[in-house]
Amino acid sequence: MDALGAALAPLALADAAAPDSPHDPGSACGSPCSVASDCSSVASADFDGLLSPSAPSSSAGPPSLVSDDLPAAATDPSPACSSRSVFALDSPPRWGLESVQGRRPEMEDAAAVVPRFHRIPLWMVAADAAAVDGLDRASFRLPAHFFAVYDGHGGAQVADYCRDRLHAALAEDLRAAEDRVACGGEDDFSCLDSKKRWEKAFVDCFCRVDAEVGARPVAPDAVGSTAVVALVCSSHIIVANCGDSRAVLCRGKEPLPLSLDHKPNREDEYERIEALGGKVIRWNGYRVLGVLAMSRSIGDRYLKPYIIPVPEVTLVARARGDECLVLASDGLWDVLSNQEVCDAARKRILLWHKKNTTSSSPAVARGSTDDGGSPDPAAQAAAEYLSKLALQKGSKDNITVLVVDLKVHRRFRSKT
């Protein structure tokens, strides 16, 4: 925990608790030991990296979040907003995905990419002000893009089910929350807490998918999967993690971990398992009951209640220095550090663009017509390079790497 605590100084960490019923923080799913940045109050300081240096200052009204080096904003429905708002930008990020079986006898990893997955109400990321950039929090929506990696164990059935189902379940939970607000049950937007809303949405979603896996049943009792999910929108990144897959944001030249691995020897996880009557046994590494090398997952019914499907949730504001986001299974992280992964991903993306940029087209930009439905060659080159590097470093697991390029414009000086 110390690593993430140091990297995300303003983040608050809540302890996990044990449970009674599946859809509530004190339930059988457990409580969401969440990591969430205090982004419920949106101010210009949260977006230092996205603010245009030429942005006009004003002594009246909410802070203006403008970005001249990002793609043209979607049409602003509010005449009060004369600038292009960060929230109104609508362009799916570039991405690349590589998934290899490696030295394992079977492939048990899965991944999902869903561009324009859901249009998020502004109050989900900007909870305090009545309006931001002249946009109405109650009615304005910004597109969010879904990226996920699932690392199965004992079989591929649960990972495959998560790949096909989890994003749909999350969309259903988000729509249900929005409907409750629209019906007047929670119509005081100034009281909404963004962190808790995201936490509840992801906990409900993961617990529901876990219950479906057990009820159908989707797989035998000894099959399960990790899940690391990232929602990327123009202003924020929201990550939910359950298990030992990982999400790391490359901010400038530094890695910023957006998830904590759920390992049985993590102090809080060890205490939670022991308090429930379980045991963490050192047998080829630390394992729950001497069997599973992670402390949270979807599935694994034979190890409940010690293994829970409750994710930790991180909410961070995007900044100009954000280069890329890497989601990967532990086949990558077992042999490469966060720093090594960020360095390699950033350099490979830059190298591809430099090799493929001519003097007649010095700027590589994301067009507003790009639907994000297919891999970007630069991000794909980075994902492929990382998987090959992990194999060279001796990874013995399946390796799935998803690289999301967060730079919309890349400009290079052509050599003369």
Residues of the chain with pLDDT under 70: 1-84, 88, 127-131, 184-192, 358-370, 409-416
Q: Write down the pLDDT at residue 128.
A: 58
Residue 217 CA, distance from chain mean position: 28
The pTM (predicted TM-score) of the whole model is: 0.80
Domain range 2-42+83-263+309-359+374-407, CATH class: alpha beta
User: Does residue 262 contact residue 246 with C-beta atoms inside 8 Å?
Assistant: no
pLDDT in tens, 216-257: 899 999 999 999 999 999 999 999 999 999 999 999 999 999
Q: Write down the pLDDT at residue 282.
A: 95
> How many Cβ atoms are within 10 Å of 107's Cβ, its own excluded?
15
Q: Please return the burial class of 207, using the count of CB atoms within 10 Å of its CB with bins 0-12, 13-18 and 19+.
A: buried
pLDDT in tens, 350-371: 999 999 876 445 445 444 446 7
Q: Write down the pLDDT at residue 81.
A: 42
Using CA atoms, how far residue 11 sits from 1, 131, 257, 258, 416, in Å, is 12, 25, 12, 11, 47
